[in-house]
Chains A and B, each alone.
Chain A
Amino acid sequence: DAKTTQPTSMDCAEGRAANLPCNHSTISGNEYVYWYRQIHSQGPQYIIHGLKNNETNEMASLIITEDRKSSTLILPHATLRDTAVYYCIVRVAALSAYGNKLVFGAGTILRVKS
């Protein structure tokens, strides 16, 4: 699976949009971009994933550049409970025999402040 690069930490004001960038310049054509987050002392929580089109769900939006070498996770109205470590991971499609495991990088520590 391709490697990702994320900033170590970011701060965001409560109520504002949090934009978390991720670089994945070596991503392959069959690899998806996945985002998870981990709140302190809890297991990771799935947020969103995409292949090349922008995606949106009730938690966040995912913007993937046209060349797919980078992406941005957007939390539209960050709250204090969004303070967590956010992991950007690229992996092959879930149904692929080789797409089973997730390998985590260092992630971005997002601090939402009031």
Chain B
Amino acid sequence: GAVVSQHPSRVICKSGTSVKIECRSLDFQATTMFWYRQFPKQSLMLMATSNEGSKATYEQGVEKDKFLINHASLTLSTLTVTSAHPEDSSFYICSARDSLGELFFGEGSRLTVL
């Protein structure tokens, strides 16, 4: 099946710094990618929809200035958590949509903000 890779898989940063997480579709082109956040023992929460070459669409309650999303190519989307704080610590997961409309998920990136 199609492969979606996230990097880094784990990151620890200090409060106030910014962290970038990459999501790559390795063997297909993805015009649309999605970013989710998951807190411990909770389900995945959709944060935003990222379309190649256009601005991301954010779900209600998600701060677009804090979670910057860039989808500059058909195989790469990035999520930047700006001025991270401990409450931003979470498991961030991306998914990518292939040409048939099916969705494939990355392995997730665990962010810990100290």
Residue positions of A touching B, CB distance < 8 A: 36, 38, 41-46, 85, 87, 93-96, 99-107
Contacts and interface: CB of A to CB of B under 8 A. Distances in A.
A94 to B, nearest CB: 3
Interface of B: 1, 4, 6, 32, 34, 36, 43-46, 49, 91, 93, 95, 97, 100-108, 110
A43 B93 contact: yes
A69 B36 CA distance: 28
A93 B110 CA distance: 31
A50 to B, nearest CB: 14
Contacts of B106: 43
Contacts of A101: 34, 46, 49
How would you classify the secondary structure of chain B's contact residues: helix, strand, loop or mixed? strand
Nearest to A107: B43
A87 B43 contact: yes
Contacts of B45: 104
B44 A42 contact: no
Given A43-B93, A107-B43, A100 B107 contact: no
Nearest to A94: B101
Given A41-B91, A43-B6, A44-B95, 6 more contacts: A42-B108, A43-B107, A45-B105, A94-B103, A100-B32, A102-B95
A99 B107 CA distance: 22
Contacts of A106: 43
A105 B43 contact: yes
16 contacts: A38-B44, A43-B6, A43-B93, A46-B102, A85-B43, A94-B101, A94-B103, A101-B34, A101-B49, A102-B34, A102-B95, A102-B103, A104-B43, A105-B43, A106-B43, A107-B43
Nearest to A38: B44
Contacts of A43: 4, 6, 93, 95, 105-108
A94 B100 contact: yes
A44 B105 contact: yes
B104 to A, nearest CB: 7
Nearest to A106: B43
